[in-house]
Amino acid sequence: MSDFSIARQNMVDCQVRPSDVTDIRIIDAMLAIPRETFVPKAQRSLAYLDLDIDVSEGGAAKRFLLRPAVTAKMIQAANISETDEVLVVGCATGYLAAVAAHLAKRVTATECDSSLAATARASLAALALGNVTVKTALVADGDSADAPFDVILLNGTTEIEPENLYRQLREGGRLVGTFALAGQQRAMIVTASHGDFGRRALFDTAIPVLPGLKRPAAFVF
């Protein structure tokens, strides 16, 4: 067994399972997917640690591979079924999209950094995940061309109401992400129902804000 295989098992046993992740499909996916593939080579020793890994490329806005437990808890909350169509917003190098692809019928992933989007495409193709498409698009835009979606996953925090993304949910669809509308960060699930969007808190967390979903700077006198 390789060092990465051992690290992957330890990640599941010591980070994912203790975080009340009980969906065996998610656990199997995270055991199967080589997380190190989605991390720059110089940082692969960090791939399975309990931290958000900066995967930004030179000069780009900061982009992160989210901590394993947060990734697993978000996906479990979304309750993805094998018939669901999923949108991953701000996919960075594609790990969240890869895990979702093991559960869903189809996954569309968007990334505003074209170089990172290309990296995500290559990493996903190397795993022969044929049900994932990566598009270069602004985070707040989502993907209206392929909407509506059953599930939308935010690969980071939003400081504003992502209303455009809400409108891309199918009736009964779920958006899961971390919200910091009033300062405190909290993972939430937003459900579309008859033109309204109900929100429910999931768990407290602290993860980086997605570019394009930052709170506008306040005017200072």
Amino acid sitting at position 60? A
Residue 214 burial class via C-beta count within 10 angstroms: exposed 0-12, middle 13-18, buried 19 and up: middle
* In a domain? residue 141: yes
Using the predicted structure, report yes or no on whether residue 1 has a pLDDT greater than 60. Answer: no
Backbone conformation region of residue 142, classed left if phi is above 0, alpha if psi is from -120 to 50, else beta: left
* Domains contained in the chain, number: 1
Q: Which tens digits make up the pLDDT trace of 130-176?
A: 999 999 999 999 999 999 999 999 999 999 999 999 999 999 999 99
Domain contains 167 = yes
pLDDT score for 59: 56
Considering Cα of 185, then 62, then 162, then 124, what sign does the dihedral take? negative
Short-list 92, 97, 89, CA closest to 52:
92
Q: Tell me, what DSSP letter sits at residue 8?
A: H
Q: 161 and 180 in contact (C-beta within 8 Å)?
A: no
Does 72 reside within a domain?
yes
Do the domain assignments include residue 214?
no
Q: What is the pLDDT of residue 216?
A: 83
Residue 102 lies in a domain: yes
CATH number at residue 155: 3.40.50.150
Does 138 map to a domain? Answer: yes
Report if pTM > 0.85: yes
List, for residues 82-100, the tens digit of each pLDDT value: 999 999 999 999 999 999 9
Residue 215 lies in a domain: no
Domain that holds residue 104: 3-204
